[in-house]
C-alpha cells in the first residue's frame, strides 16, 4: 500500500487530497508539538480547580486519588497506543469501536460521548475564563457582560481553530508553557515552605472516612472525581491525520506526557495540602490561589489569576480542536452526516465541523449549568475507556500490513476492569453524574436515529458497511515500532 492509503490519503504529505478528491488534512504536528498538546490538554482546567474538591472528598491524602487516577489513565493509554498506531486516523475511540464491534449504534454513541465531553469541558473553560477575567478587572460574578465575554472567547477559539492546525498547536505551546509555569510556581512555593519548616506534612497521610464508609471507599470515590483531571491524552489520537509519522512518535510521546503530568499533579497536591488545610482548600473555585497566599504572601496573586486564565484557555482550544477533528473523521465513515467532513480548500481545516461544534458550545454557554458536569464527563469517558480497552483485545485478530505498538494483554484487561469499576456505583460516584449522563445519552440516541434515517434514505447503505477496510490505515513496512 502507498502512503496515500492511510486515512483516505490524508496521510500524504502537506497538500494531499482527502477522500473523494476533496482536500485532506495536512501533517504539521511533530514530536515536540504533540508532547505539548498532550501535556497542555491533561493539565488544563482540572488541576487548577479540582484539587480542592478532591481534598474535600478524601482529606489530607489528596495526592493518593491523583496517583490512582494516573495509574488507570496510563493503563488505558497502552490500549490507545496500540490502536492509534494500528489505525492512525482521525476519529479515535469511535473508529476503534466500529472496527471492533461493527455496530453503528454503539459507534455513534461513543462518538457522541467523546464529543460531549470535549464541548462541555470547553464551555466550562470559557465560563471560567470570563469569571477569572472579571476578577482581574474588578467586576462582580453577576455582571451581565460575563456571558458575552464567554461567547466572545469561544468565537476567538473557533477563529484560531479555523485558521489552521499549525497555528492552533503553536498557540497551545504558548498556553501550555504558561500553565506549566503556574504549576511549577505552586510546587516551588510548597517545597520552599516545607524546607523552612512551614506547613503541616502530617496531613499527607490522613484520609477522611465518611460515616459508614471504608478508607478504600473514600479513596475510590475521590479517584472517580480526580480522574477528570487526568483525561486529555485520548484527545491526541484525533490529531493522528495531522501528525508527522504517527506510528513512530505516538508511543513515546503519549507515555512521556502522561508521566510528566502525573508527577506534576502529585507534587501540586502535596504542596497544596501541606500549606492549606483540606477543609479550607475545598472551599471556593480557586484552591491554588489559597496555596499561593499561604506559602508566599508577597507573591502578586493577580499574576497567578492571569496564569489560571491561560490554563483554561488552553483547555478550551484543545477540546474544540479534538471535537471538530472527531466529527471530521466520523463524517467520512458516514457515522455522522457527510457535510461535517468538508475541509476548507485554503486553510485545510474541517470548517463545517468547526462551525457545528462552536454552535453547540454557544448553546451550552447560554443555557447549561456546568457546575456538576465535571463528574459526568469523567463518568462518560470512563465508559468509553472501558470499551476501548476491550476493543484492543477484540482487534488482535485484525492484522495490518505494518508494524505497530503492542499493548500487553494483562494491561488492557486491567484497564478495562478498573475503568468499569470507577464508572460504576461501586466507586461511590455521585448519583447526579448518572442523571446528567442519562439525559445526554437520550439526546445522543435521538441524534443517532436521525443520522441513521438520513444515511439510509440518501446513501442506501453506509460506506463503512460496504468497505469496512476503509476504517483501517496502512503504512510502509519500514515503519517499525517496538
Question: Is residue 60 a contact partner of residue 218, using CB atoms and an 8 Å limit?
Answer: no
Among candidates 426, 387, 374, 380, which has minimal Cα distance to 76?
387
Among candidates 110, 116, 107, 115, which has minimal Cα distance to 452?
107
What pLDDT does 470 receive?
Answer: 40
What pLDDT does 142 receive?
Answer: 65
Most confident option among 144-148, 216-220, 453-457, 458-462: 216-220
What pLDDT does 8 receive?
Answer: 37
How far is the C-alpha of 479 from the C-alpha of 457, rounded, in Å? 41
What pLDDT does 382 receive?
Answer: 93
Give the CA angle between residues 258, 264, 267 to the nearest 5°: 140
How far is the C-alpha of 418 from the C-alpha of 371, rounded, in Å? 26
Lowest mean pLDDT among 195-199, 331-335, 346-350, 474-478: 474-478
27-468 to CATH, choices 3.40.50.970, 1.20.1740.10, 1.20.58.100, 2.40.160.20: 1.20.1740.10
Whether residue 1 has pLDDT greater than 50? no
CA distances from 198 to 194, 207, 277, 281, 295 (A): 5, 21, 13, 17, 8
For residue 20, is it left (φ>0), alpha (ψ between -120 and 50) or beta? Answer: left
How far is the C-alpha of 18 from the C-alpha of 11, rounded, in Å? 9
Lookup: cell for 386: 472501558
Count of residues making up the chain:
482
CA distances from 212 to 61, 279, 361, 460, 481 (A): 19, 20, 41, 57, 50
Whether residue 350 has pLDDT greater than 60? yes
Residues 6+ apart with CB under 8 A from 364: 119, 120, 123, 370
Question: Is residue 335 a contact partner of residue 98, using CB atoms and an 8 Å limit?
Answer: yes
What pLDDT does 477 receive?
Answer: 35
How far is the C-alpha of 52 from the C-alpha of 282, rounded, in Å? 4
Lowest mean pLDDT among 351-355, 424-428, 467-471: 467-471
Instruction: Give the residue extent of every domain in the chain.
Output: 27-468
SS3 332: coil
Question: Is residue 88 a contact partner of residue 3, using CB atoms and an 8 Å limit?
Answer: no
How does pLDDT run across 219-265, given as a tens digit for each residue? 998 898 888 888 888 877 877 777 888 888 889 999 999 999 999 99
Residue range 4-18: mean pLDDT, rounded: 39
Residues 6+ apart with CB under 8 A from 338: 331, 332
Chain mean position to CA 224 = 15
Neighbours of 19 (CB within 10 A): 18
Q: Which pLDDT band holds residue 25 (cuts at 50, 70, 90)?
A: low
- The pLDDT mean for the chain works out to 79
Amino acid at each position: 500500500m502507498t502512503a496515500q492509503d492511510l486515512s483516505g490519503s490524508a496521510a500524504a504529505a502537506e497538500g494531499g487530497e482527502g477522500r473523494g478528491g476533496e482536500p485532506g488534512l495536512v501533517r504539521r504536528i511533530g514530536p515536540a508539538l504533540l508532547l505539548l498538546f498532550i501535556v497542555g490538554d491533561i493539565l488544563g482546567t482540572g488541576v487548577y480547580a479540582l484539587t480542592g474538591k478532591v481534598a474535600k472528598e478524601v482529606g489530607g491524602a489528596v495526592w493518593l486519588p491523583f496517583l490512582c487516577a494516573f495509574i488507570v489513565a496510563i493503563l488505558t493509554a497502552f490500549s490507545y497506543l496500540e490502536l492509534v498506531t494500528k489505525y492512525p486516523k482521525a476519529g479515535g475511540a469511535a473508529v476503534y469501536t466500529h472496527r471492533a464491534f461493527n455496530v453503528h449504534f454503539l459507534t455513534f454513541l461513543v462518538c457522541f460521548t467523546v464529543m460531549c465531553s470535549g464541548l462541555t469541558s470547553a464551555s466550562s473553560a470559557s465560563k471560567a475564563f470570563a469569571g477569572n477575567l472579571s476578577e482581574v478587572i474588578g467586576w462582580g460574578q453577576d455582571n451581565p457582560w460575563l456571558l458575552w465575554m464567554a461567547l466572545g472567547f469561544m468565537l476567538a477559539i473557533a477563529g484560531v481553530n479555523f485558521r489552521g492546525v499549525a497555528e492552533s498547536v503553536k498557540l497551545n505551546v504558548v498556553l501550555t508553557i504558561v500553565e506549566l509555569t503556574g504549576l511549577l510556581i505552586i510546587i516551588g512555593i510548597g517545597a520552599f515552605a516545607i524546607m523552612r519548616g512551614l506547613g503541616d506534612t502530617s496531613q499527607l497521610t490522613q484520609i477522611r472516612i465518611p460515616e459508614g464508609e471504608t478508607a478504600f471507599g473514600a479513596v475510590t470515590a475521590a479517584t472517580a472525581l480526580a480522574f477528570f483531571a487526568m483525561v486529555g491524552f485520548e484527545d491526541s489520537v484525533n490529531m493522528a491525520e495531522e501528525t508527522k509519522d504517527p506510528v513512530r512518535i505516538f508511543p513515546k510521546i503519549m507515555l512521556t506526557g502522561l508521566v510528566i503530568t502525573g508527577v506534576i499533579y502529585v507534587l501540586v497536591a502535596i504542596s497544596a495540602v501541606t500549606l492549606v488545610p483540606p477543609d479550607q482548600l475545598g472551599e471556593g473555585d480557586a484552591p491554588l490561589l489559597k496555596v499561593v497566599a499561604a506559602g508566599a504572601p508577597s507573591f502578586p496573586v493577580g499574576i497567578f489569576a492571569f496564569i489560571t486564565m491561560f490554563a483554561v484557555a488552553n483547555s478550551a482550544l484543545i477540546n474544540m480542536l479534538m471535537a471538530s477533528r472527531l466529527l471530521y473523521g466520523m463524517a467520512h465513515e458516514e457515522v455522522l452526516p457527510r457535510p461535517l467532513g468538508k475541509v476548507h480548500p485554503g486553510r485545510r481545516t474541517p470548517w463545517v465541523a468547526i462551525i457545528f461544534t462552536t454552535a453547540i458550545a454557544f448553546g451550552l454557554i447560554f443555557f447549561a449549568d456546568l457546575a456538576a458536569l465535571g463528574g459526568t464527563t469523567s463518568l462518560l469517558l470512563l465508559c468509553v475507556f472501558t470499551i476501548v480497552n476491550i476493543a484492543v483485545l477484540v482487534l488482535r485478530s485484525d492484522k495490518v500490513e505494518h508494524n505497530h505498538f503492542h499493548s500487553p494483554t494483562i494491561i488492557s484487561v486491567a484497564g478495562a476492569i478498573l475503568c468499569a469499576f470507577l464508572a460504576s456505583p461501586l466507586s461511590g460516584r455521585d448519583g447526579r453524574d448518572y442523571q446528567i449522563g442519562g439525559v445526554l445519552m437520550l439526546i445522543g440516541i435521538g441524534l443517532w436515529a436521525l443520522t441513521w434515517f438520513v444515511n439510509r434514505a440518501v446513501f442506501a447503505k453506509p460506506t463503512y458497511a460496504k468497505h469496512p477496510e476503509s476504517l483501517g490505515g496502512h503504512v510502509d513496512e519500514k515503519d517499525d515500532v517496538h
